[in-house]
Structure 1
Amino acid sequence: MLDQVNIPCLQYFAQPNEINSWDEDIIIFNILNPTPAIQANSYYFGHPEWGWNYFQACHRDEKFIELWQAVIGSWQDKVVVDIGCGPGNVYASLKEFCGEPQLLLGVDVSLGALKMARQLGYTTVLADAQNLPFVSGFADIVIINASLHHCDDMAKVLQEAAKLLRPGGVLITDHDPQKSAYQFKGLGSLLWELRLPLYKWMKRGGHSTTDEQYWGLATEVHHKACDGVTSEMFYEILEPMGFTVKVYPHNHTVGAEALKGNYGRPFWKYSLAQILSGINPDSPEAALTLMCVATRIN
């Protein structure tokens, strides 16, 4: 099978003979355990309308670009792996600011999303982030943006991603919900649940129809009340693997200032739910998102 297609990045795969097929030069690996979450992510982000809406609306704003540009600096001539790349939001937002990678690998479970990412310049791979098919120690930068909370086993994805980095390489994760910010209870929990019919009534992006809302929520395995990522998870997993780890709590209205400890304040709807749940919305524990920047030292 491999002699029928030109795969310029073949040397980066641990078991190239496990390549199942390809579609428009998208390299496809078998997913051994297609869980409901994987199936939902495949369907939702591959949907021609919903995937396009996500691409246009999410992770494209000025503050996002400012923060990520400050962390990356330049990826010119570097090997970059974007895990859970979706339709390609990170590269689409940063390509004018960070240069051109030597190789930009995009990994996702959604064939439809990968077709969009491929048009932007990604070399695309369909594979399970919990069982990545790559060799260890080849990447300069590994990105996991807004993807951990879509995966069944967040810790496993983080471990798999960390293995890909060479010494001096940087792992960047962001836009996963901070667990302590979502400890809703009582009236706060009720307000959180009431947002869903309101969003559908407003036809807000991601919620414009019953089907879109259902499948969108089905992808977000860990974006629920009392769930999400913690600082401890990043330190406990990455430090034993030879990384220095920095974690930055921040809200979505804060750009590069997040790297200086300015985490901002949640949007009013989150602040109100937090106040009703006994959470101080001005605390770092109330920041909606954790960014982790981890550098491999050995």
Structure 2
Amino acid sequence: MLHELTVKLPYFFATNNCLDSWNEDIFICKIINLTPAIEANSYYFGHSEWSKNYFEACHRDEKFIELWQAVIGSWQGKVVVDIGCGPGNLYGSLRKFCGEPELLIGVDVSLGALKMAQKLSYTSVLADAHNLPFISEFADIVMLNACLHHCDDMPKVLAEAARLVRPGGILITDHDPQQTAYQLKAMGWLLWQLRLPIYRFIKRGGHSTPEEQFWSIASEVHHKPGHGVTPKMFHEILEPLKFTVKIYPHNHNVGAKALQKEYGRAFWQYRLAQRLSGIDPNLPESALSLMCVATRQS
């Protein structure tokens, strides 16, 4: 079985200790530490209707595509790894603009989501992002979009992703909450919480029912006040691994201008919550997300 698997996906470790089974051409790897966060992500994104809602509602807009296309340029003929791929939003959004990868690997903990991604031409691998079952330094592009804040140990996942990048390759992360933007207090915290019944009422993607909203929130273990990513984390993890690191704060509405240090304006409810918490919403530290683009030195 190992020989058959490695012919289809030659970048697995040389032993089969990580391989558990093979389901409809999806590689299933052992998850040793099944945490509540992993269980929540598996359940939420494995739900066919919720996963479809997420696919249609999140990371599909014009500004998202513009920014990622500007960073990637072309992945034609390259080996690409999408960690936390979910139902395949990244490739689903960018495939018309960035060419065709030689190999597109999607990693997630949700079998249901991986089945959706597989229909978009992903080579799907069910695995824990904290312990990826691949050799080092084989990928031209490694992507983590809206992934780190779903993981228990964000620095560990970032380091694991970086391990896969070949010299000269790039690591891209985005749509993880910036810690300093979410230091919400008192009335700001209450206003932020009030968004949840509003989202349910308008049936926003990820929130169409109380159950869907519960599991959506449970999957985002670091999307809450006091949590999130910081520039320091990216520099401390990636620079010792010989990456050149560039950080771009942004509010999701500026597209490629984020790469010119424009971070835009958050929606009014976020700005108001920040004002009520003593945070100046006009600072780069108040931008909702950080994009990291890191190039491994040759």
Q: Which residue of 1 aligns with 2:247?
A: 247
CA contact (8 A) 1:10 1:16 kept: no
Q: Does structure 1 residue 197 correspond to structure 2 residue 190?
A: no
Q: Which residue of 2 aligns with 1:8?
A: 7
Which 4+ runs in 1 deviate beyond 3 A?
A: 5-10
Distance in 1 (alpha carbons) for counterparts of 2:199 and 2:48:
21
Distance in 2 (alpha carbons) for counterparts of 1:161 and 1:13:
14
Alignment map for 1:88-167 (pairs within 5 Å)? 88-167=88-167
Q: Which residue of 2 aligns with 1:265?
A: 265
Q: Which residue of 1 aligns with 2:84?
A: 84
SS in 2 for 1:244: strand
Q: Which residue of 2 aligns with 1:214?
A: 214
Q: CA deviation at 1:157?
A: 0.4
Distance in 1 (alpha carbons) for counterparts of 2:206 and 2:44:
10
Distance in 1 (alpha carbons) for counterparts of 2:286 and 2:21:
45
CA contact (8 A) 2:58 2:205 kept: no
Q: Which residue of 2 aligns with 1:173?
A: 173
Output the amino acid matched with 2:213: Q
Alignment map for 1:276-291 (pairs within 5 Å)? 276-291=276-291
Deviates more, 1:11-20 or 1:78-87: 11-20
Q: CA deviation at 1:207?
A: 1.2
Instruction: Give ranges in structure 1 of 5+ residues lacking alignment.
Output: none
Distance in 2 (alpha carbons) for counterparts of 1:180 and 1:237:
19
Distance in 1 (alpha carbons) for counterparts of 2:21 and 2:152:
25
Distance in 1 (alpha carbons) for counterparts of 2:85 and 2:65:
16
Q: Which residue of 1 aligns with 2:37?
A: 37
Output the amino acid matched with 1:140: D
Q: CA deviation at 1:286?
A: 0.7
Q: CA deviation at 1:22?
A: 1.0
Q: Which residue of 2 aligns with 1:68?
A: 68
Could you report, residue by residue, the CA deviation over 1:131-180 in whole angstroms, capped at 9, with x for unpaired residues? 00000010000000000000000000000000001110000000000000
Could you report, residue by residue, the CA deviation over 1:181-200 in whole angstroms, capped at 9, with x for unpaired residues? 00101110111112112222
Provide the identity percentage.
Answer: 70
Distance in 1 (alpha carbons) for counterparts of 2:258 and 2:2:
45
Could you report, residue by residue, the CA deviation over 1:90-145 in whole angstroms, capped at 9, with x for unpaired residues? 00100010000000000000000000000100001000000000000100000000
When normalised by structure 2's length, the TM-score is: 0.97
Q: Which residue of 2 aligns with 1:17?
A: 16
SS in 1 for 2:82: strand
Distance in 1 (alpha carbons) for counterparts of 2:224 and 2:57:
21
CA contact (8 A) 2:74 2:99 kept: yes
Output the amino acid matched with 2:279: I
CA contact (8 A) 2:6 2:12 kept: no
Instruction: Give ranges in structure 2 of 5+ residues lacking alignment.
Output: none
Q: CA deviation at 1:204?
A: 2.2
- The size of the alignment, in residue pairs, is 297
When normalised by structure 1's length, the TM-score is: 0.97
Could you report, residue by residue, the CA deviation over 1:21-62 in whole angstroms, capped at 9, with x for unpaired residues? 011100000100010000110010110100001011111100
Output the amino acid matched with 1:31: I
SS in 1 for 2:59: coil
Output the amino acid matched with 1:132: L
CA contact (8 A) 1:15 1:133 kept: no
